[in-house]
């Protein structure tokens, strides 16, 4: 992928320390236009904290964050209208009907896509006359996602956006996410525990473990270069190959190539298997 010079989101050596907990640790990452970054990590790994720091909702303890080219603590109002965010638990607009909520929300955004709005209302079978507080959890989530995506934000940050959506709604949402990144040159950062969704839509995988970013690379490269090796007697791992986890003679590595690991047994993993292999020693079976 050709990368234009300016990232839409940049973390440089960012740490966030809560009183007795380091939620993110010396984390650096760059998101460019067109990237759909799937963020994967165990509960408590620091995903929401990373997202909230990126939006300026919480301040990092150290390091620099640049969002849409501006320091995150001094975001202009123009930049703010270019950011979409759906937290784990949306929402607001209680006391409004769906149509009134959408009318008010869309009035803040000149780029509002009425076609996408109409399409989503239809596809997700949302009743425009329904009170927002009476919607099901999944319906509210669809509405929150529609509200965050229909103004085509340059940076879209979604914290477990599909947890309450049914498989059909999820599929539709995922393809719209992809379209947004490709057509509008936006960058998307989304967390999900549903690894098959991540596999289907993400261009890049960001893998967090205990506050650290242990892997950040294109999905295609993840498939080719992250392998589970089974070491035989006398096997040693070349310096260029990065060990992500080790349990007995099973070693999860990044930067694998057949040339770097001659004659070694190397297993390809899907994302779920990768996730399990990464955490294996911490949760002995
Ligand atoms: N406001 C806070 N005060 C103290 N500790 C916090 C605060 N917010 C988060 N933490 C801690 O920071 C760590 C990372 O939390 P975070 O919510 O970022 O995890 P997560 O990866 O989003 O988890 P999940 O998948 O469960 O949503 C956790 O140990 C959490 O308890």
Which residues form the domain of 259? Answer: 226-282
Q: What is the pLDDT of residues 12-36, one digit of tens each?
A: 999 999 998 999 999 999 999 999 9
On the question of pLDDT at 90 being above 80, the answer is no
**Lookup: tokens for 15:** 């740490």
Instruction: Tell me, yes or no, whether 107 lies in a domain.
Output: no
pTM: 0.91
**Lookup: tokens for 168:** 């059909």
Instruction: Tell me, yes or no, whether 131 lies in a domain.
Output: no
Does 210 lie in the same domain as 233? no
- Measure Cα distances from 283 to 1, 65, 212, 279, 280 in Å: 37, 33, 18, 7, 5
Does 156 lie in the same domain as 60? yes
- Ligand 1: nearest atom to the Cα of 208: 21
Closest protein CA for atom 16 of ligand 1: 46
Q: Could you tell me the distance, in angstroms and rounded to a whole number, from the CA of residue 258 to the centre of ligand 1?
A: 39
Question: How large is the average pLDDT for residues 185-214?
Answer: 92
Does 253 lie in the same domain as 192? no
**Lookup: tokens for 19:** 């009183």
Does 234 lie in the same domain as 212? no
Residue finishing a domain among 216, 237, 265: 216
Percent of the chain with pLDDT over 90: 61
Residue finishing a domain among 183, 216, 249: 216
Spatial CB neighbours of 185, under 8 Å, sequence gap ≥ 6 = 33, 34, 154
Question: How large is the average pLDDT for residues 199-220?
Answer: 95
Q: Could you tell me the distance, in angstroms and rounded to a whole number, from the CA of residue 67 to the centre of ligand 1?
A: 21
Tell which one of 49, 52, 57 to mutate to probe ligand 1, the residue whose CB is within 8 A of the most ligand atoms.
49
* ipTM summary value: 0.97
Is 113 in contact with 152 (CB distance < 8 Å)?
Answer: yes
């Amino acid at each position: 992928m050709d990368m234009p010079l300016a990232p839409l989101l940049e973390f440089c050596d960012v740490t966030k320390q809560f009183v007795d907990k380091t939620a993110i640790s010396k984390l650096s990452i760059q998101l460019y236009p067109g990237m759909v970054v799937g963020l994967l990590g165990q509960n408590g790994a620091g995903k929401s904290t990373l997202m909230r720091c990126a939006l300026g909702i919480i301040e990092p303890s150290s390091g620099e964050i640049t969002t849409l080219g501006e320091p995150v603590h001094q975001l202009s109002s123009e930049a703010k209208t270019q950011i979409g965010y759906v937290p784990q638990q949306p929402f607001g607009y209680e006391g409004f009907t769906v149509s009134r909520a959408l009318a008010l929300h869309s009035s803040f955004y000149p780029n509002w896509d009425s076609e996408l709005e109409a399409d989503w209302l239809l596809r997700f079978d949302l009743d425009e006359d329904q009170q927002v507080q009476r919607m099901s959890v999944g319906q509210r989530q669809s509405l929150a996602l529609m509200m965050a995506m229909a103004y085509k934000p340059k940076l879209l940050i979604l914290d477990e956006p599909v947890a309450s959506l049914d498989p059909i709604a999820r599929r539709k949402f995922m393809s719209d996410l992809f379209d947004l990144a490709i057509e509008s040159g936006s960058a998307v950062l989304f967390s999900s525990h549903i690894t098959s969704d991540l596999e289907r839509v993400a261009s890049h995988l960001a893998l967090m473990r205990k506050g650290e970013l242990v892997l950040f690379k294109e999905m295609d490269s993840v498939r080719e270069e992250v392998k589970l090796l089974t070491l035989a007697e006398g096997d040693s791992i070349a310096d260029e190959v990065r060990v992500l986890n080790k349990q007995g003679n099973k070693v999860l590595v990044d930067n694998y190539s057949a040339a770097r690991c001659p004659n070694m047994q190397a297993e390809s993993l899907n994302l779920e298997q990768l996730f399990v292999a990464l955490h294996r020693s911490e949760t002995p079976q």
